Structure 1
Amino acid sequence: MTKTAYSRNRPYSPDPDASEQVKHWHTPDLTADARSQDTRTNALNMHLPEATAAAAEEQEQELVIKPLTADDIEQMRQAAHDEGILQGKEEGFAKGYSEGREQGQQDGFKQGQAEGKRQGLEDGATELDTLRAELSVLLDQLQQPLAKIDNRVEQELLQLCLAMAKAVINVEVTTNPKVILQALQEAVSALPLQSSNLIIKLNPADVASVKRHYNDTELTERGWQLRPEPLVEQGGCLVESISSSVDRSLNQRIQSSLEHFLQLAETADSSEHAAAESSDIPTQQAQSNDAQSKDAQSEHSQLKDTQANDTQVKDTQVKDSPPND
């Protein structure tokens, strides 16, 4: 309804539509007017704006300090005490951990160094024994072929000596008739004294040489019967009696002489070897004494290191222990 209609129709009675609109009308907010009537001013005696006034009101509310009670003071003291204990515990733990770790590293390094040195010596000795055993086996394997070669060379040298001696003696026998006479005398002397009726087998060339030295009468008086034997080499003889016989052939005489020579050489080598072994005994004893002395020094050094480590650990424990009240 317009204003004109309202002024003409008095008194007014609202129609249903207007009544419905009145029902939905809201009461206006009057708090803004109340806030605008705030009498607080600033330093220039001017009213504060709404935002500044709200902030000032909140600041006044925050500045309100309640008085502390005994419980509050006790709680604050206990909290400060707990905080101090916790802080001291953390600082003490950090300091003790740092010092203990450093000391532990030093002690562990020294102990590990000593144990590592000892273990290294033991491992080195074991490895040295193994290498020594392997070297001994290799030397034995090398010496076996050498020993066989030595034996073969010895036999070949013996045969060479026999051949050379035989060649020299053959020349001597051919040019010197005294050789067969000396062999005959040696063979007869080797028989027992009561031997008689001796049969002497000679090379046909030597029979003539013996008969030139002894005539038939001397041969009969001596009881010698000369028999030519082509198998007997010139310069040798075989003397036989009823009970015994003597072989003074050329090969047998050479073999006997060489065996006697080799026996003398072996005796000389054995004497030199025994003398060398006797001279090596003091050297081996000295080496053994040196090794024992080094082992004793090593054990003494390890013992000193262990004692020093124990002393340092004890000193550390004494320093770290809390003082008595």
Structure 2
Amino acid sequence: MTMSGDKKSREGQGEHTNQADFSHWQLPDVTPVAEEPKENMFGRTAPQKAAKQIDEPVLPPTLEEIESIRAEAEAEGFAQGQEAGLAKGLEEGRLKGLEQGHEEGFRQGEAQGMEAGLAEAKQTISQFEALMQQLSMPLSLLDTEIEQALVQLSMTLAKAVIGHELKTHPEHILAALRQGVDALPLKEQGAHLRLHPEDLAIVERLYESAQLTKNHWELEADPTLSRGECIVSNSRSRVDMSLEHRIKAVFDKLIASEQRLEQQRLQQVAAMEKVPENQPQDGDAAQDSLEVESQTTDSLTGDSQQSASVDASPQVAPSEQSAPEAHQETNSDENTPKPTT
């Protein structure tokens, strides 16, 4: 009994002791403590080996994760593509717009420059033309004065030559008399002849009294007339055969012919400046110009010859009018009358 009781008491004490020990026992701290680097005998830290990493098993992604990754990648690719396309489109549009704007600006600038240059050129040309007109105006006036002076000089020379011719060949007065008498409309009524005294002596010497009576000529000396001049009249008409009027008639013809040729030349120049649509070729234009020049030369030559000859007969004016006069042209070679009534 004693032995068993001791045994039981010892067991009871051992259980009580184990319970007390376990009641005060705590879990140990297993937190890894970083070891301080060890230094060697030289005071240098020895290189530490990297701790081994434990590879954890990689789980395969789920369907939702895969779908999410695909959507994110698609959205990211779309955003990147849109951004790249937008940047490329902006760059291409900028380059194209720059090129188009440069071309349009160049054309517009060229057109504006051409228009401004033409306007400036037209203004310069108009100023130059006005200046040339101002410079040529005195020359035109001078040309007109020179022409008039030449005409007066030619008339003076003609008068001198004709006067000298009449002095050396006074028999020309006979042709003037016949021309003046033939210009009368009614020759049978007789004629009153006024002559220079010297010319009157020549006529009386060449015509006998009976012949003068037969012709019904009444002679009268007029010292106011020049040699070679005469005035023939009757009861109804009067013919002025003065040298002044005869020379003036010749020069009037020449001046009228010159004015007509000048007018034709101006019309030709105006027609050439218009530049018609059906413009002839150079050869045709040259031929036309030669034809016009030939016609002009022929016209001038014909007028000169006609003026040189007796083509203007004395004009008969009625005696009722105040100071009626007639003009007669003379020929330097033959004073052949060509009367008109």
Q: How would you bin the TM-score normalised by the shorter chain?
A: 0.5 to 0.7
Kept after mapping to 1: 8 A contact 2:193/2:233:
yes
201, 208, 211: which one aligns with 1:215: 208
What amino acid is aligned across from residue 228 of structure 2 in structure 1? G
CA root-mean-square deviation: 4.0
Deviations 1:260-317 (A, max 9, x none): 1222333334444445555x27845368xxxxxxxxxxxxxxxxxxxxxxxxxxxxxx
Partner Cα separation in structure 2 for residue 264 and residue 157 of structure 1: 16
In the TM superposition, what are the counterparts of 1:59-208 in structure 2 within 5 Å? 91-194=84-187, 196-208=189-201
Q: Does 2:277 match 1:285?
A: yes
What amino acid is aligned across from residue 159 of structure 1 in structure 2? Q
Deviations 1:2-42 (A, max 9, x none): xxxxxxxxxxxxxxxxxxxxxxxxxxxxxxxxxxxx99462
SS of the residue 2:189 aligns to: coil
Q: Percent identity?
A: 34
Kept after mapping to 1: 8 A contact 2:181/2:187:
no
Partner Cα separation in structure 1 for residue 110 and residue 278 of structure 2: 25
Structure number with higher helix proportion: 1
What amino acid is aligned across from residue 161 of structure 2 in structure 1? V
Partner Cα separation in structure 2 for residue 251 and residue 186 of structure 1: 16
Q: CA deviation at 1:165?
A: 0.4
Question: Which residue is 1:233 aligned to?
Answer: 226
Partner Cα separation in structure 1 for residue 115 and residue 38 of structure 2: 101
SS of the residue 2:235 aligns to: coil
Kept after mapping to 2: 8 A contact 1:203/1:230:
yes
Partner Cα separation in structure 1 for residue 177 and residue 159 of structure 2: 18
| CA shift in 2, pair 1:256/1:110, >3 Å | same
What amino acid is aligned across from residue 207 of structure 1 in structure 2? L
SS of the residue 2:225 aligns to: coil
TM-score, length of structure 1 as denominator length = 0.57
SS of the residue 2:227 aligns to: coil
Partner Cα separation in structure 2 for residue 281 and residue 45 of structure 1: 118
Q: CA deviation at 1:230?
A: 1.1
Deviations 1:231-280 (A, max 9, x none): 101111111211121111111111111111222333334444445555x2
Kept after mapping to 2: 8 A contact 1:195/1:241:
no
SS of the residue 1:199 aligns to: strand
Partner Cα separation in structure 2 for residue 286 and residue 143 of structure 1: 33
TM-score, length of structure 2 as denominator length = 0.55
| CA shift in 2, pair 1:260/1:95, >3 Å | same
Kept after mapping to 1: 8 A contact 2:188/2:216:
no
**143-152 vs 179-188, which deviates more?**
143-152
Aligned residues: 230
